[in-house]
Structure 1
């Protein structure tokens, strides 16, 4: 994973990280509130060596003191030092338990020893620290006394007596909260990374490209209200999702499908990836471009084309295949007249056998003769083999991949199912890609605006310019019938330049107004 991948991960899994950080703060706060506060008091002693006044003796004594300080630090928590403290203060602890609350340290290269004692009572903590310092001086004096008698050359003097602390040393609320936050954030990030590594769902075009080398023919966005508007091309032709289907239509023109009518077998790995709505919207966009299109619902197990398009579904493909009606009786026109629909009909007990039999091949041959494009909606690949059988008959299939729905191994299994029967994968359509949030598909050029709503400032300016132009035309006197276009000129006004001079083909068929796609895409007779 690169740095950008981690940033996207943090943005996508921010809820997990925030919950972990909050949990760390809560646990740290609860620990700080439930822990009994303890107080710390410190006394400081100085270790010196008695000797002569010569420089050599003073240097030797100083070196001896620094070396001995380390031994005296270890001596502070010994029973010989702490037993007198327990007896003097009348403590309920023994020397071993008291040693857990007493510690000693020394600044580097000094003859000073700090004796620190902690207790739930601030007064008792100060008394223990002072009593321990006195007991240490007494024990060291005994240990350093020469065997033959005399005074000890080592003297320990208290230079700073412990005072009663005014605030608790533990728990440190700020420190605990900071540690809880840091630990919570670290755990949250770790959990997010692990979940990302274990999550094999395909969520973007890049994930799909890692699995297959087939071209990505289209990327269809997904919004929260997408289930309520399945036929987006028909309901909102200027929506971003509708433009995605037009881009898919354009990319399909570059597929090598031979000279016959183009046949698109649409399938997916699992149910719920949007293959049916993709098939319907694709058929609508092809019909809007002026082509004669037929949409065939070949999902004979869970047909849904008739329900989405609001047509009769009892008579359809199965009725034609078993010979009850002809194909001309099963075809239902829809939309602008360029799109015909063949519903699935009644659900048969043997869908795979029907789709692989000779009547289905004959039906496809007839449809190729009557239409420019055939869009066939088929069942998913993993549950059944219907799509693979039909795709083999037409020479290829288009796989719809639902982002966030299918896992990597499921897509690999679906591709293997096509490869096993020798089906060519024409391309992939990545569906349900979010338009907002992490992993969203970016539309950087422009966004469509709604057809209705309050006019924008640019729209109001355009309206004003249009009205001014109309007023100017009304103020210009009309030319006399059969006369010159302007006073003093002879003959009619010069004709406008040919269309070809303005960058368009000169031969434009006359007749009723037609769309641009109707002009550039010839309709098959």
Structure 2
């Protein structure tokens, strides 16, 4: 991972990192408040040799004390030194317990011994330090005495008496808070990086590009009202989703210009990634441009196109495939009459066999002859083989990836399923992207009209029923008002010349509302 990736993780997980820092500070503050204050008192003694008769005696005595001073420092925490201190001050502790609060230091190249006593009472700490210094001098005097009547040649004198401390040495609140801050930051950043490394869900276009060589031809933003208004004509026509579908429309034109078939099979790795609403919205934007488009609901297991578009779904693709109806009978017109819909029909017991039959190939050829673009919504690739079968007939598929839903290995397996079927992906559409992943272009409001009302507010139209003067239903005259996202006479070239007009529409839009995208 590079610096850019780490910065992206910090930006994405900043809230959890901040929470870890706050927890670290709170723990440090709580520990400081609950800790018992302790005080330190310091006493210092000087080790010397009593005066000699000559200079040589003084030199020898100084060398002797220099060698012995380390032994005296170790002797300061021995029971022989500390027991008299306990008895004198009435401490009620053992020599070992008292020794844990006494620190002895012998500065190099000196004959000084520093005694540091730590205790919860400042006064007791000072009294213990002085008492240890006096007891050490007495014990050394006893140990170094050469004869019964002679004095010890070594003398220990107190050169610094202990002073009662006024400020505790612990807890050190500032230091504890700094450590809590550093530890919280370390834990927060570490957890964020680890979580990102363990999270295999696809969350950005860059992650898709790292998995496949197929081009990312669309990046669709996620908006909070997308569930309530799955079709872009029901929301803001200048919103991020609407603009993203217009860019997707342009990219599909480049695919078609490169020799690709005008038939686009839209699938995904798993259900719930938004392939059905993506198919419908893509068809709407293509129809807005003036192209004659047909949406085919070829998800014969969980069909949803007719439900979203408010159309009758009992007669459709399966009815045509088994010969009980013609394409003319089954196709329904929707919206501005450039858009037609071939619903799924009744759910059959053998979807894969039906979609791979010669009859299905003949239906695709006929639809390609009649329309500029054929958008086929089919089943996900991983649960069933229907999508791969259709992709082989159409020469490839467009894969919809739900950001935050699809795992990397699942996308790789879906692409592998296409490869095993002898086909591939025309491109990938990343759906449900956070707005921050859309780039700075979302702030460019060219052409937006804040005062414009959504289509579902015109003439009191129901959000799920597009029966207005902008989008007339079957049998109603189209308005001269151009559809959302297009113009009355679009200067853009349709996908391909229309060879023949599509026939009569069957049925009227149903009155039931849409629901969550099943596919």
Q: 1: distance between equivalents of 2:231 and 2:442?
A: 24
> Which structure 1 segments of 5+ residues have no match?
455-511
Comparing 263-272 with 422-431, which one deviates more in the overlay?
422-431
The answer on 1:196 being equivalent to 2:196 is yes
User: 1:443 is matched with which residue?
Assistant: 441
Residue by residue over 1:463-488, the C-alpha shift from the partner in whole angstroms, topping out at 9 and shown as x without a partner, is xxxxxxxxxxxxxxxxxxxxxxxxxx
Map residues 170-249 of structure 1 onto 2, 5 A cutoff. Answer: 170-232=170-232, 235-249=235-249
Inter-CA distance 399–520: structure 2 relative to 1 (3 Å threshold): closer
- For residue 53 of structure 1, report the CA deviation from its aligned partner: 8.9
Q: Does the aligned pair in 2 maintain the 1:234–1:284 contact within 8 Å?
A: no
The answer on 1:132 being equivalent to 2:132 is yes
- For residue 85 of structure 1, report the CA deviation from its aligned partner: 0.8
Q: 2: distance between equivalents of 1:192 and 1:59?
A: 67
Determine helix, strand or coil for the equivalent of 1:227.
coil
Q: 1: distance between equivalents of 2:5 and 2:219?
A: 21
The answer on 1:517 being equivalent to 2:502 is no
Q: Does the aligned pair in 2 maintain the 1:260–1:368 contact within 8 Å?
A: no
Q: Does the aligned pair in 2 maintain the 1:434–1:440 contact within 8 Å?
A: yes
Q: Does the aligned pair in 2 maintain the 1:46–1:158 contact within 8 Å?
A: yes
Residue by residue over 1:202-245, the C-alpha shift from the partner in whole angstroms, topping out at 9 and shown as x without a partner, is 11111111111111112222222222332225643322222221
Q: 2: distance between equivalents of 1:100 and 1:519?
A: 89
Q: Does the aligned pair in 1 maintain the 2:201–2:404 contact within 8 Å?
A: yes
Q: Does the aligned pair in 1 maintain the 2:42–2:117 contact within 8 Å?
A: yes
Q: Does the aligned pair in 2 maintain the 1:292–1:524 contact within 8 Å?
A: no
Comparing 98-107 with 388-397, which one deviates more in the overlay?
98-107
Determine helix, strand or coil for the equivalent of 1:390.
helix
Comparing 48-57 with 106-115, which one deviates more in the overlay?
48-57
Map residues 18-57 of structure 1 onto 2, 5 A cutoff. Answer: 18-52=18-52
- For residue 246 of structure 1, report the CA deviation from its aligned partner: 1.7
- For residue 199 of structure 1, report the CA deviation from its aligned partner: 0.7
The structure, 1 or 2, with the larger RCO (C-alpha pairs under 8 Å, 6+ apart) is: 2
User: 1:150 is matched with which residue?
Assistant: 150
Residue by residue over 1:305-355, the C-alpha shift from the partner in whole angstroms, topping out at 9 and shown as x without a partner, is 112222222222222222222211211111222111111222222222221
Inter-CA distance 66–186: structure 2 relative to 1 (3 Å threshold): farther
Q: 2: distance between equivalents of 1:449 and 1:145?
A: 105
Q: Does the aligned pair in 1 maintain the 2:306–2:343 contact within 8 Å?
A: yes
Q: 2: distance between equivalents of 1:28 and 1:513?
A: 68
Determine helix, strand or coil for the equivalent of 1:43.
strand
Q: Does the aligned pair in 1 maintain the 2:316–2:342 contact within 8 Å?
A: yes
User: 2:465 is matched with which residue?
Assistant: none
Q: 2: distance between equivalents of 1:174 and 1:113?
A: 31
Determine helix, strand or coil for the equivalent of 2:308.
helix
The answer on 1:105 being equivalent to 2:105 is yes
Inter-CA distance 62–401: structure 2 relative to 1 (3 Å threshold): farther
- For residue 18 of structure 1, report the CA deviation from its aligned partner: 1.8
Map residues 67-466 of structure 1 onto 2, 5 A cutoff. Answer: 67-146=67-146, 150-232=150-232, 235-255=235-255, 262-436=262-436, 439-443=437-441, 446-448=444-446, 450-453=448-451
Determine helix, strand or coil for the equivalent of 2:264.
strand
- For residue 522 of structure 1, report the CA deviation from its aligned partner: 5.0
Inter-CA distance 296–408: structure 2 relative to 1 (3 Å threshold): same
Residue by residue over 1:237-290, the C-alpha shift from the partner in whole angstroms, topping out at 9 and shown as x without a partner, is 322222221221222223268868510000011112111111111111221222
Q: 1: distance between equivalents of 2:235 and 2:184?
A: 48
Inter-CA distance 218–67: structure 2 relative to 1 (3 Å threshold): farther
Q: 2: distance between equivalents of 1:242 and 1:147?
A: 106
Determine helix, strand or coil for the equivalent of 2:415.
helix
Q: 1: distance between equivalents of 2:420 and 2:317?
A: 27
For normalisation by structure 1, the TM-score amounts to 0.82
> Which structure 2 segments of 5+ residues have no match?
453-486, 501-519
Q: 2: distance between equivalents of 1:381 and 1:442?
A: 33
Comparing 421-430 with 173-182, which one deviates more in the overlay?
173-182
Determine helix, strand or coil for the equivalent of 2:285.
helix
- For residue 15 of structure 1, report the CA deviation from its aligned partner: 2.1
User: 2:4 is matched with which residue?
Assistant: 4
Q: Does the aligned pair in 2 maintain the 1:126–1:163 contact within 8 Å?
A: yes
Q: 2: distance between equivalents of 1:78 and 1:356?
A: 94
In the comparison of the two structures, how many residue pairs are matched? 466
Residue by residue over 1:380-416, the C-alpha shift from the partner in whole angstroms, topping out at 9 and shown as x without a partner, is 1111111011111111111111111111111111111
User: 2:507 is matched with which residue?
Assistant: none
Q: Does the aligned pair in 2 maintain the 1:106–1:113 contact within 8 Å?
A: yes
Q: 1: distance between equivalents of 2:58 and 2:48?
A: 10
User: 1:488 is matched with which residue?
Assistant: none
User: 1:458 is matched with which residue?
Assistant: none
Q: Does the aligned pair in 2 maintain the 1:261–1:372 contact within 8 Å?
A: no
Comparing 60-69 with 3-12, which one deviates more in the overlay?
60-69
Q: Does the aligned pair in 2 maintain the 1:76–1:103 contact within 8 Å?
A: no
Determine helix, strand or coil for the equivalent of 2:423.
coil
